[in-house]
Amino acid sequence: MRLRLAGAVLLSAAAYYVYVPLPSGVSEPWKLMLLDALFRSFMQASDVAHALGVCHRVHLLNRVVSWVEVIEARSCPAVHVTDSELGGVPARVFQPKGGKRLKRGVLYFHGGGWALGSGRMRSYDLLCRKMAEDLDSVIMSVDYRLAPEAVFPDQYHDALAASRAFLSSPVLERYGIDPQRVCVSGDSAGGNLAAAVAQELSSDDSIKVKFKVQALIYPVLQALDFYTPSYQQNQAVPILYRPYMARFWLQYLGADPSLEPLLLANNHSSLDQPAIGANIRSKLNWRALLPAERRKHYRPVVKETGSLGVMGKVPQLVDVRAAPLLADQEVLGRTPKAYVMTCEFDVLRDDGLMYVRRLQDAGVAVTSDHYEDGFHACMVFAYLPMMSSVGRRSMNNYIDWLDQNL
């Protein structure tokens, strides 16, 4: 009897920890709850280790990720897989066997808040293998440097160096890549890097080979407004909670973590900030850039007065290399044809949707692929043990778009 009672208590405690209220429309809520419970456990353990001075919270998280997810480069009958370098930056290369002599090429940047993850993770390895086989394409998944050891612009510089090498004649010739059919892509923080690289290289006349398309998967594109409708609607929706995103931004920009409450209150983008003029504000004015069905009943949170010292301490907040949404229209107009995936239950939804609108206004052809039941990072959970249905759908549609447009 005591054993049964203890078991019931433990089961109840586990259910209490796992359960979080989720929006009714989210895909497979119990799978997401279990995934979230696992992530929260790791995050809380890393916070304790950080507070005790054992190690930086990010280091513990990455050790867990490496232990659970990172796998060796193993070829299979359809795809040859090797670890190499691109412009001095580590990269995993996936080459389809057979097929056409000239292949399409995709340069991919993984997500993880510029601090976590690797292109050698099982989830990205499986994604890139499928892309290589289905598209008969050479895929190069880049392992850029990570925070806290590397901070902006280090990750951007790694992405740029890898991109320049990828587009160079020696690399294109070595891997048999068609220079007319190359793409830059990435998810979340990797989508940020892909967008920033696409902007930079499309305006660089010294680069002979240009990306034909850019494919951005739930990208993070700005850090001035943490009260967009999607930040308000999804602030407590797994797996990317609103405070986590502010923390990732501060780590990426090498800023004081104590600034997190100021960012979350939008004190850093108050009307009295001289570094944020009307031109910048117009580029993230979601009342004008978002359709009514996404604005819903939400109201902007714009402080008249805020913390004037923040922009002086973190001027990178308005650097377009870190925040591609803030780029000028003429720069956007030179970028390649675009695919932008967004998810309804993701704090970053409106970053992507505003970028879609700004690209369209600049004359760029854009496919906006929105998932009404999607959540942040769903595409990388397309395989077991999670095997999210929306993850599988989104991955297949992403690959189909590349097949039709690259």
Q: State how far the Cα of 373 lies from the Cα of 385, in Å rounded to an integer.
A: 19
* CA dist., res. 46 & res. 284, Å (int): 33
Q: In the annotation, is 110 catalytic?
A: no
158, 346, 350, 373: the active-site residue: 346
Element holding 234 (H helix, E strand): none
Tokens of residue 192, six digits: 């940020």
Catalytic residue among 36, 270, 376, 394: 376
Concatenated DSSP letters for 195-233?
Answer: HHHHHHHHT-TT-SS--SEEEEES----SS-S-SHHHHH
188 assigned to active site: yes
Give the integer Cα–Cα distance in Å for 195 and 215. 8
In the 3-class helix/strand/coil scheme, how is 362-385 assigned residue by residue? Answer: CCCCEEEEEEEEEECCHHHHCCCC
CB 381 within 8 A of CB 387: yes
**Catalytic-residue membership of 136:** no
Q: Which one of the listed residues 188, 202, 270, 388 is annotated catalytic?
A: 188
Give the CA count within 13 Å in the CB-facing half-sphere of 177.
32
The owner of tokens 């292109």 is 119
What is residue 177's three-state secondary structure?
Answer: strand
Place of tokens 């805020």: 306
Best CA proximity match to 233, nearest among 360, 106, 376, 124: 376
Which helix or strand (DSSP H or E) is residue 178 part of? Answer: strand 177-187
Does residue 340 contact residue 198 with C-beta atoms inside 8 Å? no
Contacts of 366 (CB under 8 A, 6+ apart): 337, 338, 339, 340, 356, 359, 360
Helix then strand then coil, in percent of the chain rounded to 5, is 45, 15, 35
Active-site annotation, residues: 188, 346, 376
